[in-house]
Amino acid sequence: MNFAELGLMPQLLEAITAAGYTDPTTVQGEAIPAALAGTDLLVSSHTGSGKTAAFMLPALQRLATQPGGKGKGPRVLVLTPTRELALQINRAALDYGKGMRNLRTAALVGGSSYAHQLRSLERPVDIAVATPGRLIDHLERGRIDLSRVEILVLDEADRMLDMGFLEDVENIVGRTPATRQTMMFSATLDGVVGNLARKLTRDARRIEVVTSEQQHANVEQIVLYADDLSHKTKLLDALLRNPDMQQCVVFAATKMAAEQIAIQLEESGFRAAPLHGDMHQGQRNRTLQGMRDGRTQVLVATDVAARGIDVAGISHVINFDSPRQAEDYVHRIGRTGRAGRTGTAVTLMGHHERHRTRDIERYTGQPLRIETIIGLEPRRRPTTGKPSFGPSSGPRGGDPRRSRPSGAPGARPAHAGHGAYAPHGAAGAGAGPRSERYQPGAAAPRSRAR
């Protein structure tokens, strides 16, 4: 199947082709025809499955082929949990709709100029992409009218509810026409999300297209165990010096840790930058643009700040601090292996965190391969006992800036944990320790719209 078979108009097909996309993903192939027919949709779809195009292309076609009513409010409203995801969707709308005349969009998110957003709402808007908190602010001030909404999209609905936006979402939806078309995209459609879906949709078609097992089949998933913070820091340095490393997102547990790790990496010669929620939106935008332009090699991010990062060149994800929840792990590794490419996800774990490995494997249905790097093998086996070190900003580990990577230590005996992870080959002279297993295949050409 190709995009031309989905019923999309020529202007959209030209934009898709110009973006380098040829074949629709599974979610696009199933959702686009149903959305074009005006059906409400409930789509279980994970990060990286191409869901943005699945709802945005039908929305743009409706805007181009059907006249709107009087008023200035948006005809299409997209709600997202984070600023980064909202800005990404807004960019996608402009890219896909570049062949349409006078398409006007507005990104209504916190952390950016309120005055600029007010100016964008002074004239009729076709598409508004918003985070719930900022949209509620505009609604309470009487700055936006939702009576013209024809299509309502809730993207990453599960994450919005996890972040406490249920009341805001219900308030917003209550101000839209009952005749609207509603599309909900979520990693899960059970529990609270399912209850909300039943309230908001009418005779919705349910589409479940991506399982955890299928989602990251193109992402190599590896665990390295570390004895302490200094050992973990040396592992990070060795991984980043792998010649196959193109661009990388390093995940840290806290904002302070993200800042500290980024500083340490810059001191070690890497082009690194932090990304976290305390940064002003303009600074966050510049940081992400640096990643897209290739000026930044390593982005050190917290979980919430990394939502919506869509950079096709990210070859690796490194969990410097292991995720607290298996769901967070899935979202993290979804930053790599995008647009048909392969990727590598490496999680650095303390010996006391072995239970998290099992939790992730149960959640994803995929095994995590435990490996070592030659010259940086852990001194002891992973256990489920008392933690040997805390998070990167904790008192036991100290400031990672004081744990600068040094030359390879003397060889340590490899432990005999589960799985086949014995080191292969030997590190090149003068190149520092490196495992020859960290050599994912060459990036494939981009072939799918995201």
DSSP string spanning 52-120? Answer: HHHHHHHHHHHHHHS---SSSS-SEEEE-SSHHHHHHHHHHHHHHTTTSTT--EEEE-TTS-HHHHHHH
Residue 195 has pLDDT above 50, yes or no: yes
Residue given tokens 């040396």 in the structure block: 234
pLDDT in tens, 348-393: 999 888 888 888 888 888 889 999 999 999 987 644 433 333 333 3
CATH fold group of domain 213-402: Rossmann fold (3.40.50)
What token pair was written down for 306? 């990394």
Whole-angstrom Cα distance, residue 357 to residue 322? 9
How many percent of the chain have pLDDT more than 90? 47
pLDDT-based confidence at 446, cuts 50/70/90?
A: very low
Whole-angstrom Cα distance, residue 348 to residue 353? 10
Helix (H, G, I), strand (E, B) or coil at 359: helix
With contact defined as beta carbons under 8 Å apart, do 106 and 128 qualify? yes
pLDDT in tens, 16-66: 988 878 788 888 999 999 999 999 999 987 666 788 999 999 999 999 999
Q: Record the pTM.
A: 0.60
* Number of separate helices (H) and strands (E) present in the chain: 15, 14
Whole-angstrom Cα distance, residue 52 to residue 449? 8
Residue given tokens 């399982």 in the structure block: 211
The candidate with the shortest Cα–Cα distance to 369, out of 331, 403, 312, 417, is: 417
CATH no. for 3-210? 3.40.50.300
The candidate with the shortest Cα–Cα distance to 310, out of 299, 324, 295, is: 299
Q: What is the mean pLDDT of residues 56-85?
A: 92
Q: In what order do the strands lie in the sheet with 41-44?
A: 105-108, 127-130, 76-79, 151-154, 181-186, 41-44, 205-208
Residue 154 has pLDDT above 50, yes or no: yes
pLDDT of residue 26: 87
Residue 216 has pLDDT above 70, yes or no: no
Say how far residue 337 (Cα) sits from the centre of its chain: 11
Do 213-402 and 3-210 fall under one CATH topology?
yes
Query: Domain-by-domain residue ranges, the chain?
Result: 3-210, 213-402
Residue 185, phi then psi, degrees to nearest 5: -115, 130
pLDDT in tens, 156-177: 898 888 788 999 999 999 999 9
